[in-house]
Amino acid sequence: MGGRARRRAGGNDSRRARRACVATAKHTVLRPLWLGRDAITIRAASVPATPARMRPTWAEVDTAALANNLAVARRHVGPACRVLAVVKADGYGHGAIRAAQALISAGAWGFAVSLVEEAVELREAGIVAPIVVLGGVPLVAADVIVHRELRPVVWSVDHLDMLASAVRRAGARPVRVHLKIDTGMSRLGVLPSDLTPVLDWLVADAGRTVELEGAMTHLACADDPADEISSARQLDSFDDCLGTMTARGIQPALRHACNSAGMARFRPAHYDMVRPGIALYGAASARDVELAGLQLAMSMHTQVHGVRALPAGARVSYGGRACLERDTKLAIIPVGYGDGYPRAMSGQAQMLLRGHRCAVIGNITMDICMLDVTDLPDVRVGERVTLLGRQGAESIDVHELAAWANTVPYEITCGISKRVPRIDGGDT
């Protein structure tokens, strides 16, 4: 047999070998034909169904708490003031779609996100309420903004030109926008000294392609009760700009300045609408500016993965920084900074087990923590451990976690990674 024929025959054998896989209900039989008639039969167990959740770590999102927190905000601002619910960063880690669905049912006027992609996600989930895109108009996003009927925040003539061109291309109705004025945050927005060209553009357009629905600013120090001056100066500047706009015949229907802290502290600055974010999830940037009656909307839990008995003097985790002062029982906890449990909390963090506080020992690693359970008898694999939330009479909230990590509460919930599935449910 020639070389070409041999290669053809070998190829046929390979194809027959791949096809010689006889499936049954109980197992799969593999018969490698190239070993001949007496080949050993290899039996492989059929692949089991994959459980919906195998890793015993999860976060519970309480949609009733979200509704409660919106009700608290609405009572605080009164019936004449609309609530623009901020659901950026995947709803501060709670799940943007889940949060939006709960909040729209509870009476939110609309939603604020940072990115056009975040807005598209909500639209594709069936959210038809107004969506304000806080992050401006990216160079390639104008057509999507118009098509999805989003309401972008603008602060430049370039933004307006891009949107007008997209409206004309689509033959669409005017796009609604919110003009952001930088009164002291020094981040996004048009400076008051640069406002005239933007107003000139709006006057010339006369609403043919762009409708100015809102005017807004953002307070830099609203969460600092010791600083009354900075926010007052910003609000004075904002009022001056609104006066300039009125003098040009421009009167946006929705004026807004307050985030959660501003909403709590500055009643005269509620204007027509407020933009609470973290308050809707049951917290605040600082305890001093937290509204009464809020309920924590997220809790985070795991289960004991194993228990180890170690003698006094043993060193624990990377770097051996923790040296046990007594004979100790350590529970292995399958959570680490890869899940958003910050390594910076090493040496300070605590968790709840059986309603008692237990100290995290040693450095928090990517996937694992070690918990001192010496004072709890007979801790067993599978017992529930709470990292954030309540167990019995004890609770750990985002303020406490943030203090251990030397960060802000926002970073705690936003940082919980996608390795931690979110499920519906209250704190139990």
CA-CA distance, 218 to 135, in Å (whole number)? 13
- Strand (E) positions, 46-155? 57-61, 82-86, 110-113, 131-133, 151-154
CA-CA distance, 357 to 354, in Å (whole number)? 9
DSSP string for 6-38: HHHHHHHHHHHHHH-EEE-SSEEEE--GGG-TT
CA-CA distance, 410 to 283, in Å (whole number)? 9
Could you tell me the two tokens for 186? 């020094």
Q: Work out whether the CA dihedral 239, 240, 246, 250 comes out positive or negative.
A: negative
CA-CA distance, 200 to 123, in Å (whole number)? 33
Hey, what's the torsion of the CAs at 53, 59, 62, 68, to 10 degrees?
A: -160
CA-CA distance, 262 to 217, in Å (whole number)? 11
Do the bridges between strand 273-274 and strand 306-310 make them parallel or antiparallel, or are there none, so unpaired? unpaired
Cβ 292 vs Cβ 380: under 8 Å: no
Q: How far is CA 115 from CA 112, 172, 227, in A?
A: 9, 22, 31
Contacts of 14 (CB under 8 A, 6+ apart): 34
User: Helix, strand, or coil here: 65?
Assistant: helix
Could you tell me the two tokens for 79? 């019936």
Q: Which residues are catalytic?
A: 88, 318
Cβ 402 vs Cβ 313: under 8 Å: no
Give the rounded distance of the alpha carbon of 86 from its chain centre.
11
Phi/psi of residue 218, each to 5°? -135, 130
CA-CA distance, 150 to 148, in Å (whole number)? 6
